[in-house]
Amino acid sequence: MSSFRARLALSSYRWIGSAIYPFVWSYLALRAAKGKEDPARRRERYGHASVARPQGPLVWFHAASVGETNAVIPLIKEIHRRGINVVLTTGTTTSARVAAGRLGSAVIHQYVPLDFKPAVNRFLEYWQPDLAIIAESEIWPMTILELGRRHIPQVLVNGRLSDRTFARWKKRPALADALFENLALVIAQSDVDAERFRTLGALPVMVSGNLKVDTDAPPHDPQALKEYRQQIGTRKTWAAISTFDGEESAAGVVHRALKERTGLLTIVVPRHPERSDAIEAALTAKGLKVARRTRRDPLTPDVDIFLGDTIGEMGLYLRLTEVAFVGRSLFAEGGQNPLEPAMLGCAVLSGGNVQNFRETYQMLAKNGSAKIVRDVEMLAKGVNYLLANDDMRRSMIDAGLETVQEMRGALSATMKGLEPYINPLVVKARLEPRNDL
């Protein structure tokens, strides 16, 4: 049971939220000005629905951003295929675009309501979900408590807890227990994640593996790929993807060091494309010529950097190379998902700060498909070595494809864990035909 202190903390969270709720509009307006909110759909953040609820059983999926959205798309498709309605909430405009592109009208997309009691209540009263499925590590106290109060089962899928997040929750064991005890089931990515969830009070917990391995390879525009390949010709290429501040400049340093010997084209794909103007300015100041995807700039022989400043086209960028450095690992912490480059036939390089994807990198490195670099100089040497040694590059690529295949199976394991919650909804859907939008 929750301690008095934990109940007091949650009560304070509720009352503080109620106090500041009327003033949240200014926060959302600021985010909208930065392109992080859709002004036309801002009411959804207050729990107001923008479309009609379909008839029949409904599962609410929540995925915070692009990575989580991509991870649960196969699971969403599987549940929708069984005749169950799905409403998917996300927290970013980029993830909304990904959902629209990969799911279309198969599901309803809404922006996630703010974690304030009025917004959460309004959302739940309208949509009346039969089941809530949360991706990875999204723990919002008011949402969890209101779902629990309504006795709506909550399942955390593809669950993971980073070192930092786990340490933060461990300092508040009573509060963690008061929240995690509301979860009907946690389906964790790894044994380490599973044990961490159990420590924080979640039961039952099972292990599925990583759903991101069971996703399809990122899509691409075949015509754009053909045109870019023709423009690149015989030039050697490498990519720095999902980069954070400082890593784009590092890519520029690597390019300058290797260009004269290799005629190199460097592809840079920032994690946050809204930074692209600043990235281009910084690279141009180094004397590098930048072509941007959004401008449809041609990749002429004098172009140094191809800046992938779009959302949802990682499949295009990775198909233009066989060597990929995965960012948020040299100058930022946590790392980014290395599975997409591995499944698209790239030898993977990364900095050492990959705590959020530790198990995935361990498997890739163990099989020889990923290598860790300490600094920019070592990155340059690694890129140069892989571009110059076809046998080693091909060996890493083949090992990556084999590793991804070995890691598959999370989708079927997750569906098996969800059966006690999904099967009754399948029966309900047959008895009460849904009214598709």
**Which residues are designated catalytic?**
68
Q: Residue 323's beta-bridge partner residues?
A: 347
Alpha-carbon distance 208 to 211, whole Å? 8
Contact 64, 95 (CB under 8 A): yes
Alpha-carbon distance 181 to 198, whole Å? 10
Alpha-carbon distance 246 to 258, whole Å? 19
| DSSP three-state, residue 76 | helix
Contact 62, 131 (CB under 8 A): no
Alpha-carbon distance 57 to 425, whole Å? 6
User: 3-state DSSP helix/strand/coil percent for the chain, to nearest 5?
Assistant: 55, 15, 30
Work out the number of other CB atoms within 10 angstroms of the CB of residue 144: 24
Q: Return the exposure string of 325-351: e unless at least 16 CB atoms fall within 10 Å of the residue's CB, then b.
A: bbbbbbbbbebbbbbbbbbbbbbbbbb
The string of DSSP codes covering 161-229 is --HHHHHHHHT-HHHHHHHHTT-SEEEESSHHHHHHHHHTT--SEEE---GGGGSPPPP--HHHHHHHH
Work out the number of other CB atoms within 10 angstroms of the CB of residue 28: 18
Contact 63, 88 (CB under 8 A): yes
DSSP alpha helices (H): ranges in 66-190? 66-81, 93-103, 117-127, 141-149, 163-170, 173-180
User: Amino acid letter at 186?
Assistant: V
Alpha-carbon distance 240 to 254, whole Å? 10
Alpha-carbon distance 333 to 388, whole Å? 30
Q: Return the exposure string of 114-143: e unless at least 16 CB atoms fall within 10 Å of the residue's CB, then b.
A: bbbbbbbbbbbeebebbbbbbbbbbbbbbb
Give phi and psi for 92, each to the nearest 5. Answer: -130, 155
40 CB-near residues (< 8 Å, 6+ apart): none
